[in-house]
Amino acid sequence: MTRTVVPDRPAESRIDELVGESVDHSRRGDWSTAVRCQRQAVELAGELLDDAPDDVSRRTGLGGLCYRLGALHLADRDPAAAVAALDDAVRAYAGLVGAVPDAELSLADVLARRGLAQSVRGWAASAEVDADAAVLAYLSVTGGDPAHPRRRDLARVLASNAATLAPAGDPQLAIASANAALGYYGHGDAADAGGDGSDGTVDSGYVHSAAVVSALLNFVDGRVVEGFVPAAVIAAGLPPGQARQALEAELRVVDGLLSMAGGPVPFPPEMGRSLARLVLPTVRDRGLLWVPADDWLDRAAQPTLTAVMQRHTAGAGQATPLATATPGSDPALLWTTSMRWLSGLPLQAAVQLVTVAVDVLLTGSAYADGRRLALAAHALLASAYRAAPDRPPQDPAAYLPVWQRLLEVATDSCRAAGDHALAEDFDAWRARLR
């Protein structure tokens, strides 16, 4: 049973002052001072909650303060500190689920932000698990209905998921999630001609971020047509200037070729990469959720799970777990790894995927493929491990031993490949499951 305690006004007033100072410093780009002020506010709020641990308003306030501290650490380029702050926010909001309306959605927002922080940190396994849980929480509430009052919240979390997956996740899922975010925002714009009170500035940032993910990941893989619409969204959101003019000029060329052809146009892959080179400079200094590294275009593209499964199971007398478990699944509607589970993936298929991942990693000849398989298998088993109100719990004995084996092999393989951040991530999961 919860109780509400009369607030300690002097302490709460000081918290308000510190948050105000933090906001002022963040507007000036003084992130370290903004972080310091926000951390002091968090410490004061924590002391208030210690005095009254059952006070709902104090726990809610602490969760919000920790969430903002995590965002400030991210802006200050300290993702590890961001994760630590967001861990505190998760604990605060988890204690409110069932006691406060929509607490599960506040928790989902924190998980989405923590997923971004983990992604920036290079902990791709934890990043995918957090972002996955955030998307599923909003899908559970909205049912994916494009007319739902919370459709913009779903769009925001999908944009965040796309940005989380963009650096190291499955590009097919990242593109699908980004496109879905753009679609939900587009419906909202059409349905709410009179305005719905949403913050247009915040929404436009998520729209732009989703467009960047979809355009760049399509262009870098030579898919000019698929990247055209999101690139047009990017161009429309740019300030007047040379960068906007150059991008719009190239898009007019593409549009003209599409109009004349009246059907599919076999654009050369290099045209997509040229468009990616035009888009890349426009994403700098815009506060986007995902900002590609300077050498991003020079790196090998991340493989999709679908392509990897085809390479390592076709012709081997082995059923393809995901293909057989999700017949007819529309790739455009798969936004997270565990959404394959929602389409009917049995636990045994996830266990079989672990077997494939371990085999590929142990060969040492296809690290990128083994990494993709390991990340997907880990996300599926983490979904089985995570409690879900609409799914009965799985028996841990059915998958914990193979999961631990996967984490052991993945940790060693990542370390051998010099992928130390991901090795630390997998090793942390190993320790958690012991």
Q: What is the DSSP letter of 241?
A: S
CA dihedral of residues 59, 92, 81, 175 (deg, nearest 10)? -120
Distances (CA, A) of 243 to 66, 213, 269: 37, 18, 22
Q: How many residues does the chain have?
A: 434
Burial class (CB in 10 A: 0-12, 13-18, 19+), 185: buried
Nearest-angstrom CA–CA distance, 264 and 242: 30
The pLDDT of residue 386: 79
Closest CA to 53 of 18, 96, 11: 96
pTM score, whole prediction: 0.91
Q: Which residues share a beta bridge with 388? A: 391
Kindly report the CA angle at 93 between 89 and 99, in degrees rounded to 5?
A: 165
Q: pLDDT (tens digit, 0 to 9) for every residue of the chain, 434 residues total? A: 344 444 556 888 999 999 999 999 999 999 999 999 999 999 999 999 999 999 999 999 999 999 999 999 999 999 999 999 999 999 999 999 988 999 999 999 999 999 999 999 999 999 999 999 999 999 999 999 999 999 999 999 999 999 999 999 999 999 999 999 999 998 433 333 333 334 455 688 899 999 999 999 999 999 999 999 999 999 998 889 998 999 999 999 999 988 887 667 788 888 999 999 999 988 877 778 888 888 888 887 889 998 998 898 865 555 555 555 444 467 888 999 888 766 566 788 888 899 999 999 999 889 999 999 999 999 999 988 876 555 666 777 888 999 999 999 999 999 999 999 999 999 999 999 98
The answer to whether the beta carbons of residues 320 and 307 sit under 8 Å apart is no
Tracing tokens 């045209």 back to the chain, one arrives at: 271
Nearest-angstrom CA–CA distance, 228 and 238: 16
Burial class (CB in 10 A: 0-12, 13-18, 19+), 87: middle
The pLDDT of residue 395: 76
Tracing tokens 């006070």 back to the chain, one arrives at: 55
The pLDDT of residue 98: 87
Nearest-angstrom CA–CA distance, 393 and 202: 37
Nearest-angstrom CA–CA distance, 374 and 361: 8
Nearest-angstrom CA–CA distance, 161 and 295: 22
Nearest-angstrom CA–CA distance, 46 and 147: 39
Nearest-angstrom CA–CA distance, 137 and 156: 13
Distances (CA, A) of 213 to 158, 160, 172, 412: 11, 10, 11, 31
The pLDDT of residue 265: 77
The answer to whether the beta carbons of residues 375 and 124 sit under 8 Å apart is yes
Other beta carbons within 10 angstroms of residue 227's beta carbon come to: 28
Q: Which residues share a beta bridge with 3? A: 55
Nearest-angstrom CA–CA distance, 327 and 305: 15
Tracing tokens 């305690």 back to the chain, one arrives at: 5
The answer to whether the beta carbons of residues 157 and 108 sit under 8 Å apart is yes
Nearest-angstrom CA–CA distance, 166 and 168: 6
The token pair that represents 1 in the structure block: 């049973």
Q: Which residues share a beta bridge with 391? A: 388
End-to-end CA distance of the chain: 33
- In the chain, the amino acid numbered 55 is D
Residue 418's φ and ψ, nearest 5 degrees, are: 80, 10
The pLDDT of residue 315: 59
The answer to whether the beta carbons of residues 79 and 73 sit under 8 Å apart is yes
Burial class (CB in 10 A: 0-12, 13-18, 19+), 112: buried
